[in-house]
Amino acid sequence: MSDQPAKGNDIKQPPGQGNGRANPGQGAGKPGGAAANANAAGGQRANRPNAGQAKQAAHQPKPPAQAKPAPNPQRVSQPVKSAKLKKRHWSVVFSFILFVALPIATVAFYLWEYAEDQYASTVAFSVRTEESSSALEFLGGFSELSGSSSSDTDILYEFLQSQKLVEEIDAAIGLRAMWSKPENDLIYAFDDEGTIEDLVVHWKRFVNISYDDGAGLIEVEVRAFAPADATLIAQTLFDESSSMINSLSDIAREDAIGYAREELDAAVVLLQGARQAVTTFRNLHQLVDPSVDLRTQAGLLGNLDAQMAAALIELDMLAAQRKDDPRVSQAQLRIEVIQRRINEERGKLGVGESGEGEVYANLFGEYESLAVEREFAEQRFLSAQGAYDASLSEARRQSRYLAAYVLPTTAESSRYPKRFTTTAVAGIFILLLWATVVLVLYAIKDRR
């Protein structure tokens, strides 16, 4: 009887509690199911509230029922329509054919149909300088005069690209005629009516110069429409380059011996003047060498002095014997003649009272001055001649020349124009340009 009110006042349990907990344990098909059901029944009886608890639970408000979430509706995707080429797609395809495929085909057609075969000739050389030290230290500065701020190879490299070389080769072998042989090749052939500036531009296209500044080696590849023409151009180029290097060597040699040559020329002029002065003096005074005449006059004066001494001795002896001896007068006359002759000879030497002696002394002094000047000029000439010979020998030892380590070659097959490479490069360039333009146009359209 006490169990009925409890059954009538039974409270609903929230989900997951009470009977809900016992339901999972009720498994009829699992082993030990009877024991689990017995335990669950015992638990229910233990959890049943008494009468007082049921009344209190009846007065408490019921918790609000929780709303169940609405099920998510499933989205049904519509079928995608098949892609179709639009007008802009066809314009891109048409532009690709017009601006990419057609130009590349045109380039290839021209290279294989109209471009003439080109043959290459190679020549390689370097500038060599032979220098050896000189034994004369005072000529050591001459070797420095031939140096320059830039090397001879740098000068030659610039010369190979100059208009001067192109003019010389054109005048020597007819460069215009060689490069204007093809009639249908409008791109690679030269217009024979072009100016020298046009020929220089064409020269840079057909002449490839490689310069190794570290080793000082220059390699030149010359192209022409015939193997013999390419070889001839390369040989002429080498000859003109060798002439230019020889001219540089000549200039350096002239600089090295220029000072010595000037000194030698001045010494020659001085020596000529001194010798001419001596010759004029001799012709004017009728004297070859006054020193010889002086020695002759001195010998004659000494002889007269000896005769005078002998005559005086003889006179003294005659006077001692007899004063009226006629030989005494003859001895006196002889003494007077000898004395007069002595006075005349001394007058010639400039030691007497006559004016002629003073003139002779002046002539002798003038000749001595001219002789000293001539001797000095001769010594200066000999010194200048030795310096000039030494500087000339030094300049010859410091010679420049062009040494070819690869002589001009003769081609047996055509290597130019490089048709496949040119077509590929042109195709890549055209394709990149076309792609850039298309992307720019699409970017502008998207911004609008």
Q: What is the CATH number of the domain that holds 204?
A: 3.30.1890
pLDDT at 431: 94
Output the pTM of the full model. Answer: 0.56
pLDDT at 144: 42
pLDDT at 279: 86
Angle at 423 between CA 420 and CA 424, to 5 degrees: 85
Q: Between 198 and 339, where is the model more confident?
A: 198
224 in the same domain as 344? no
381 in the same domain as 444? no
If you average pLDDT over every residue of the chain, what do you get?
76
pLDDT at 254: 80
pLDDT at 155 over 70: yes
Determine, yes or no, domain membership for 65. Answer: no
348, two tokens: 């010639």
pLDDT at 77: 57
Distance CA 399, CA 242 (A): 13
Contacts 24+ apart (CB under 8 A), 203-208: 203/161, 203/166, 203/175, 204/161, 206/118, 206/179, 207/160, 207/233, 207/237
Distance CA 63, CA 15 (A): 12
271, two tokens: 């020596």
Average pLDDT over residues 212-238: 93
Write out pLDDT tens, residues 62-95: 555 555 555 555 555 566 555 566 677 788 889 8
194 in the same domain as 320? no
Determine, yes or no, domain membership for 222. Answer: yes
3-state secondary structure of 244: helix
Instruction: Tell me the pLDDT band of 207, cut-offs 50, 70 and 90.
Output: very high
DSSP string, 7-61: HHTPPPPPTTSTHHHHHHH--TTSTTHHHHHHHHHHHHHHH---HHHHHHHHHSP
246 in the same domain as 120? yes
256 in the same domain as 147? yes
Determine, yes or no, domain membership for 374. Answer: yes
294 in the same domain as 176? no
73, two tokens: 């509706």
181 in the same domain as 304? no
pLDDT at 16: 42
Contacts of 384 (CB under 8 A, 6+ apart): 260, 263, 264, 266, 267, 268
Backbone Cα Rg of the chain: 65
**Which of these, 372, 378, 384, 391, lies nearest to 265 by C-alpha position?**
384
245 in the same domain as 277? no
Instruction: Name the percent of the chain lying above pLDDT 90.
Output: 27
260, 412 contact by CB (below 8 A): no
Q: What domain count does the chain have?
A: 3
pLDDT at 76: 54
pLDDT at 132: 52
120 in the same domain as 250? yes
pLDDT at 17: 43
Average pLDDT over residues 302-322: 80
Determine, yes or no, domain membership for 379. Answer: yes
Buried b (16+ CB within 10 A) or exposed e, 60-94: eeeeeeeeeeeeeeeeeeeeeeeeeeeeeeeeeee
Determine, yes or no, domain membership for 192. Answer: yes
pLDDT at 171 over 90: yes
Task: Residue 351: give the domain boundaries.
Answer: 267-397
Average pLDDT over residues 250-274: 84
188 in the same domain as 318? no
Determine, yes or no, domain membership for 4. Answer: no
pLDDT at 52 over 60: no
pLDDT at 84: 65
pLDDT at 1 over 50: no
pLDDT at 54 over 50: no
- Kindly state the DSSP code that residue 403 receives in the 8-state scheme: E
Determine, yes or no, domain membership for 42. Answer: no
Write out pLDDT tens, residues 105-154: 999 999 999 899 999 999 999 988 765 544 444 444 444 434 333 478 88
Average pLDDT over residues 339-343: 80
246 in the same domain as 154? yes
Write out pLDDT tens, residues 94-111: 989 999 999 999 999 999
> Position of tokens 């060798």?
242
Determine, yes or no, domain membership for 11. Answer: no
381 in the same domain as 278? yes
pLDDT at 10 over 50: no
